[in-house]
Structure 1
């Protein structure tokens, strides 16, 4: 396994381990995006805007590979409005936990920060949060709040401008440290 692939799988498995609730695919995607964009973790993903916010197919490929190797376990779940997947640690995680801990040690604080800040968020809220950061990183110039609300609302019209604005206010500390490092 390549070093980047090992880091990615280890970080994703560690996120699942530390998550307060079983994350789905959207949450896993946003965890990777937020770690790379806000904390500078060198995952090497190339995110672009998609239906549920920032997206890179390679994240789902890495989740599938970690599942196929037994590091993660995927469960199909149904909801009132559709279906999805939830992830938990797989049987092979325990056998590899020491190696995983060594691999992610340098980023342990970043993963803890992610879970402290965003570990309780729903997939829909993670979608909004990551889209706000994506909109900030889309331009090199600083945007005023009203302009940022408008841009995010154009991308995600199912969120009200009030919800977007209050989320921006809640994220003010994180907005000041945005890395926008798409080549990490």
Structure 2
């Protein structure tokens, strides 16, 4: 996907997240993008690795810096935490130029924003890591086994929290199939 189409999709995702009550910081953006790309099959082209707080893309971090340099997003300080990432008016104009691309993926972006928008950082870490575990070689394992793997990877996530995250991700996977097909 070319950079301008991806920028239109990314700024639309940020707006949808914000509209659903998201803090819209970098963690929110990272996790939502991971779900948009890997759950909803939107070809954004970012590489994700398992990092400190779940799936993370250094490519996406660089892209956010580029979007900021191009004045398509801006950072709004929100003390005492990190900034909110907001699309600018220029991003809205860019989106208007890519209505067909946005139309192809709008319902997929909206689904992820609806599911993740109101989540806090700890919830996002659990869900994104649960989805990461499910996507890996453990995909065919029962929820309890995947939850144990999640707790092994992230020891601060309790067994109950891990199982709840796995079950929520399984439900999202099931729901996403209706949207994808």
Query: For this structure pair, what is the TM-score category when the shorter chain's length is used for normalisation?
Result: 0.7 to 0.9
- 1:160 pairs, out of 158, 162, 166, with 158
CA separation in 1, counterparts of 2:122 and 2:99? Answer: 30
Structure 1 position 4, deviation (Å): 2.7
Distance in structure 2 (CA, Å) of the matches to 1:25 and 1:141 = 27
- 1:62-86 CA distance string (max 9 Å, x none): 111111111111123333xxx4221
Superposition TM-score, scaled by structure 1 size: 0.84
Equivalent runs, 1:88-99 vs 2, <5 Å: 88-99=86-97
Alignment size in residue pairs: 174
Gaps of 5+ in 2: none
Relative to 1, partners in 2 of residues 1:24 and 1:43: Cα closer, same or farther, differing over 3 Å?
Answer: same
- Report the structure, 1 or 2, having the larger helix content: 2
Instruction: Structure 1: give runs of 5+ residues left out of the alignment.
Output: 180-184
Q: What is aligned with 1:105? A: 103
Q: Taking structure 2 as the reference length, what is the TM-score of the superposition? A: 0.86
Change (3 A) 1:118 1:159: same
Give distance in 2, aligned partners of 1:86 and 1:172.
29
Alignment of 1:33-182 (within 5 A): 33-79=34-80, 83-139=81-137, 142-176=140-174
Q: Deviations 1:4-63 (Å, cap 9, x if unpaired)?
A: 322321121001111223400011111111011111111111211110111111111111
- Aligned-residue CA RMSD (Å): 2.1
| Larger relative strand fraction | 1
